[in-house]
Homo-oligomer: A and B are copies of this chain.
Protein backbone atom coordinates (compact mmCIF):
# COMPACT_ATOMS: atom_id res chain seq x y z
CA UNK A 1 0.00 0.00 0.00
CA UNK A 2 0.96 3.61 -0.39
CA UNK A 3 0.25 6.70 1.63
CA UNK A 4 -0.45 9.58 -0.72
CA UNK A 5 0.12 12.95 0.99
CA UNK A 6 -1.20 15.98 -0.86
CA UNK A 7 -0.64 19.54 0.35
CA UNK A 8 -3.23 21.67 -1.45
CA UNK A 9 -5.03 25.01 -1.34
CA UNK A 10 -7.84 24.91 1.23
CA UNK A 11 -10.63 25.87 -1.12
CA UNK A 12 -9.76 22.93 -3.35
CA UNK A 13 -10.53 20.40 -0.66
CA UNK A 14 -14.10 19.74 -1.74
CA UNK A 15 -13.04 19.26 -5.35
CA UNK A 16 -10.32 16.80 -4.37
CA UNK A 17 -12.65 14.85 -2.16
CA UNK A 18 -15.29 14.64 -4.85
CA UNK A 19 -12.73 13.46 -7.40
CA UNK A 20 -11.44 10.78 -5.05
CA UNK A 21 -14.94 9.61 -4.25
CA UNK A 22 -15.65 9.30 -7.94
CA UNK A 23 -12.64 7.01 -8.02
CA UNK A 24 -14.13 4.82 -5.32
CA UNK A 25 -11.86 5.99 -2.50
CA UNK A 26 -13.75 5.55 0.72
CA UNK A 27 -11.67 7.33 3.28
CA UNK A 28 -9.16 10.07 3.81
CA UNK A 29 -7.78 12.26 6.57
CA UNK A 30 -7.40 16.01 6.42
CA UNK A 31 -5.19 18.35 8.44
CA UNK A 32 -5.00 22.12 8.44
CA UNK A 33 -1.39 23.04 7.92
CA UNK A 34 0.67 26.05 7.03
CA UNK A 35 2.86 25.97 3.99
CA UNK A 36 6.01 27.76 3.10
CA UNK A 37 7.11 27.76 -0.51
CA UNK A 38 7.55 29.84 -3.60
CA UNK A 39 4.19 31.47 -3.12
CA UNK A 40 4.56 34.79 -1.30
CA UNK A 41 2.65 35.52 1.87
CA UNK A 42 1.08 38.84 2.76
CA UNK A 43 1.95 41.55 5.23
CA UNK A 44 -0.02 42.37 8.34
CA UNK A 45 0.37 45.73 10.05
CA UNK A 46 -0.42 46.30 13.71
CA UNK A 47 0.12 49.85 14.87
CA UNK A 48 3.13 50.37 12.71
CA UNK A 49 4.83 47.04 13.27
CA UNK A 50 4.84 45.08 10.04
CA UNK A 51 4.79 41.31 10.12
CA UNK A 52 5.34 39.23 7.04
CA UNK A 53 3.05 36.25 7.15
CA UNK A 54 5.21 33.78 5.23
CA UNK A 55 3.20 30.73 6.06
CA UNK A 56 0.06 30.31 4.07
CA UNK A 57 -2.89 28.18 5.04
CA UNK A 58 -2.90 24.85 3.25
CA UNK A 59 -4.68 21.59 3.73
CA UNK A 60 -2.94 18.26 3.87
CA UNK A 61 -4.91 15.30 2.54
CA UNK A 62 -3.70 11.84 3.45
CA UNK A 63 -5.07 8.81 1.75
CA UNK A 64 -3.81 5.26 1.96
CA UNK A 65 -4.47 3.14 -1.12
CA UNK A 66 -3.41 -0.21 -2.56
CA UNK A 67 -0.11 0.18 -4.39
CA UNK A 68 -1.60 -0.40 -7.80
CA UNK A 69 -4.04 2.47 -7.40
CA UNK A 70 -1.50 5.00 -6.18
CA UNK A 71 -0.60 6.41 -9.58
CA UNK A 72 -4.24 6.94 -10.48
CA UNK A 73 -4.92 8.63 -7.15
CA UNK A 74 -1.95 10.94 -7.58
CA UNK A 75 -3.12 11.95 -11.02
CA UNK A 76 -6.65 12.50 -9.84
CA UNK A 77 -5.61 14.72 -6.97
CA UNK A 78 -3.25 16.65 -9.20
CA UNK A 79 -6.01 17.30 -11.70
CA UNK A 80 -8.57 18.31 -9.10
CA UNK A 81 -6.29 20.55 -7.08
CA UNK A 82 -4.76 22.41 -9.96
CA UNK A 83 -5.44 26.08 -10.55
CA UNK A 84 -2.22 26.70 -12.43
CA UNK A 85 -1.34 29.44 -9.97
CA UNK A 86 1.72 29.38 -7.80
CA UNK A 87 1.11 27.67 -4.47
CA UNK A 88 -1.00 24.82 -5.80
CA UNK A 89 0.99 22.42 -3.65
CA UNK A 90 2.64 19.02 -3.80
CA UNK A 91 1.85 15.34 -3.71
CA UNK A 92 4.16 12.83 -2.07
CA UNK A 93 3.95 9.03 -2.06
CA UNK A 94 5.43 6.92 0.70
CA UNK A 95 5.17 3.16 1.37
CA UNK A 96 2.82 1.74 3.97
CA UNK A 97 3.72 -1.68 5.25
CA UNK A 98 0.70 -2.50 7.26
CA UNK A 99 -2.81 -1.20 7.85
CA UNK A 100 -5.54 -2.06 10.38
CA UNK A 101 -9.18 -1.09 10.64
CA UNK A 102 -9.68 -0.61 14.35
CA UNK A 103 -13.37 -1.44 14.40
CA UNK A 104 -13.07 -4.88 12.83
CA UNK A 105 -9.42 -5.77 13.03
CA UNK A 106 -9.30 -6.28 9.27
CA UNK A 107 -5.84 -5.66 7.90
CA UNK A 108 -4.04 -4.28 4.90
CA UNK A 109 -6.08 -3.84 1.73
CA UNK A 110 -9.25 -4.87 3.55
CA UNK A 111 -8.68 -2.15 6.11
CA UNK A 112 -8.80 0.75 3.69
Give A residues with C-beta under 8 Å from B. Answer: 1-3, 6-8, 17, 26-38, 54-55, 58, 60, 64, 70, 74, 77-78, 81-103, 105, 111-112
Contact = CB atoms under 8 A, between A and B. Distances in A.
B82 A103 contact: yes
A91 to B, nearest CB: 4
Contact of A102 (B27, B38, B90): B90
Nearest to A7: B29
A6 to B, nearest CB: 8
A43 B55 CA distance: 31
Given A29-B34, A78-B100, A78-B105, A3 B95 contact: no
B37 A58 contact: no
Contacts of A97: 2, 93-95
Nearest to A87: B103
B96 A94 contact: yes
12 contacts: A1-B92, A2-B97, A6-B102, A7-B29, A17-B54, A28-B36, A29-B60, A64-B92, A78-B100, A87-B103, A92-B99, A94-B97
